[in-house]
């Protein structure tokens, strides 16, 4: 039993919740926001019984490859290669996708690039806290789940990978593009113009390469460059006032997000996901008109980071 507890601690399951709350998730600004705007808090829980309808299905741009017995995959128990909470690198579905993307056939950099591009261009935004496997099955995810899927694909393909998570100050462009409704804007202001940013680190050769998986469509909507493999969030998207937490696996407390979504109620979640879909379509329209590569080229030539105008 003691050996199991030691293993869980090494994987990051027992990260100090108090440190996580203070440093990463900033619960105190959120609580202050709730006190200033109690209607949001009451509405949050009142919405729980509004609807039991399932979220409307989306047409995913991919099919999960069929798993076949004996497919190559990494089954090492070493740190940064083994499966962890919300990062199910040993799941048959993830192994089959890893093989389709060229695991153990391409070089580590080529395979990491293929996995990065696949996640970045196939997973849409959505309030579905479900980890790597759930993200692959649903086609929607919050940012940390996109990171989890990329890390899981890397580990399945034998590439060590880990998380870097921090509460970071985001650009004014992001707030203007993302927080278009008043309630979201107030929430962003209460959080001091910050967001919880998850960055993946993959070991390619002797180098740990940081990569931020921003969504191309949201990048276009918010006026920031589309990230590439090897680019950190602070390269173009945010400012990191404190050192990020480096973890092998996400702490179990992250799963509390699933409980919060249940309390919010399906109708409210559907409504918020509909807003995400609308913004996704606006961003996609921009890319369709300009072209993804041309948009990225233009924005990199003219882009400069604008700190939020709100008080920190």
Close Cβ partners of 194 (under 8 Å, ≥ 6 residues apart):
26, 167, 168, 169, 170
Using a 10 angstrom Cβ sphere, with 0-12 exposed, 13-18 middle and 19 or more buried, the burial of residue 308 is buried
Q: Mean per-residue pLDDT for 128-147?
A: 91
* pLDDT at res. 168: 81
Tell me the CA end-to-end span of the chain in Å, nearest whole number: 45
**What percentage of the chain's residues is helix, strand, coil (to nearest 5)?**
50, 10, 35
Give the Cβ contact number of residue 65 at 10 Å.
16
Asked if residue 182 has pLDDT above 70, the reply is: no
Using a 10 angstrom Cβ sphere, with 0-12 exposed, 13-18 middle and 19 or more buried, the burial of residue 97 is buried
φ/ψ of residue 258, rounded to 5: -65, -40
Asked if residue 53 has pLDDT above 50, the reply is: no
With a pLDDT cut of 90, the percent of the chain lying above it is 47
pLDDT tens profile 75-117: 999 999 999 999 999 999 999 999 999 999 999 999 999 999 9
Q: Mean per-residue pLDDT for 188-215?
A: 85
Highest mean pLDDT among 57-71, 140-154, 234-248: 140-154
Mean pLDDT across the chain, nearest whole number?
79
Q: Mean per-residue pLDDT for 216-228?
A: 91
pLDDT tens profile 28-45: 444 554 455 554 444 444
* pLDDT at res. 7: 57
* pLDDT at res. 178: 60
Q: State the DSSP H helix or E strand holding residue 163, giving kind and residue range, or none if neither.
A: strand 161-170
Asked if residue 179 has pLDDT above 90, the reply is: no
Stated pTM of the model: 0.80
Q: What is the maximum alpha-carbon separation in the chain?
A: 58
> What is d(CA 149, CA 157) in angstroms, rounded to the nearest whole number?
12
* pLDDT at res. 306: 73
> What is d(CA 97, CA 197) in angstroms, rounded to the nearest whole number?
25
Query: Which residue is it, tokens 């919050």?
Result: 142
Q: Which sequence spans correspond to the domains of the chain?
A: 2-45+72-302
> What is d(CA 86, CA 76) in angstroms, rounded to the nearest whole number?
18
Asked if 279 contacts 218 with a C-beta cutoff of 8 angstroms, the reply is yes
Q: Mean per-residue pLDDT for 292-301?
A: 96
Asked if residue 133 has pLDDT above 60, the reply is: yes
Q: Which two tokens stand for residue 120?
A: 């970045």
Q: Mean per-residue pLDDT for 46-67?
A: 63
Exposed e or buried b per residue across 263-272, where buried means at least 16 C-beta atoms within 10 angstroms of its C-beta = ebbbbbbbeb
DSSP secondary structure letter of residue 254: G
Asked if 140 contacts 128 with a C-beta cutoff of 8 angstroms, the reply is yes
Q: Which of 99-113, 134-148, 297-311 has the lowest mean pLDDT?
A: 297-311
Cα Rg of the chain, angstroms: 19
Distances (CA, A) of 208 to 110, 119, 281: 15, 19, 34
Give the Cβ contact number of residue 71 at 10 Å.
17
Asked if 67 contacts 92 with a C-beta cutoff of 8 angstroms, the reply is yes
pLDDT tens profile 15-31: 444 444 444 444 444 45
* pLDDT at res. 218: 87
Asked if residue 127 has pLDDT above 60, the reply is: yes
């Amino acid at each position: 039993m003691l050996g199991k507890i030691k293993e869980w601690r090494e994987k990051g399951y027992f990260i100090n919740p108090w440190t996580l709350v203070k440093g990463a998730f900033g619960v105190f600004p959120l609580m202050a926001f709730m006190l200033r705007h109690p209607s949001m808090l009451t509405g949050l829980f009142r919405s729980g019984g509004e609807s039991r309808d399932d979220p409307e299905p989306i047409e995913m741009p991919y099919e999960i490859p069929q798993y076949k017995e004996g497919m190559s995959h990494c089954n090492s128990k070493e740190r940064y290669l083994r499966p962890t909470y919300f990062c199910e690198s040993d799941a048959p579905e993830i192994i089959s996708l890893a093989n389709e993307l060229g695991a153990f056939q391409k070089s580590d950099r080529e395979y990491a690039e293929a996995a990065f591009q696949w996640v970045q261009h196939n997973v849409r935004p959505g309030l579905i806290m479900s980890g790597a496997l759930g993200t692959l099955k649903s086609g929607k995810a919050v940012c940390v789940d996109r990171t989890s899927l990329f890390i899981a694909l890397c580990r399945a393909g034998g590439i060590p990978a880990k998380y870097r998570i921090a509460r970071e100050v985001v650009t004014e462009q992001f707030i203007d593009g993302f927080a278009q409704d008043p309630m979201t804007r107030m929430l962003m202001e209460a959080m001091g113009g910050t967001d919880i940013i998850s960055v993946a680190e993959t070991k390619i050769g002797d180098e740990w390469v940081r990569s931020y998986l921003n969504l191309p469509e949201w990048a276009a909507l918010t006026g920031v460059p589309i990230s590439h493999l090897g680019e950190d969030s602070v390269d173009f998207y945010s400012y990191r006032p404190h050192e990020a937490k480096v973890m092998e696996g996400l702490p179990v407390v992250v799963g509390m997000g699933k409980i919060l979504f249940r309390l919010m109620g399906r109708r409210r979640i559907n409504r918020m996901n509909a807003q995400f879909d609308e913004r996704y379509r606006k961003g996609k329209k921009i890319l369709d008109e300009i072209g993804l590569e041309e948009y990225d080229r233009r924005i990199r030539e003219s882009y400069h980071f604008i700190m939020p105008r709100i008080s920190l």
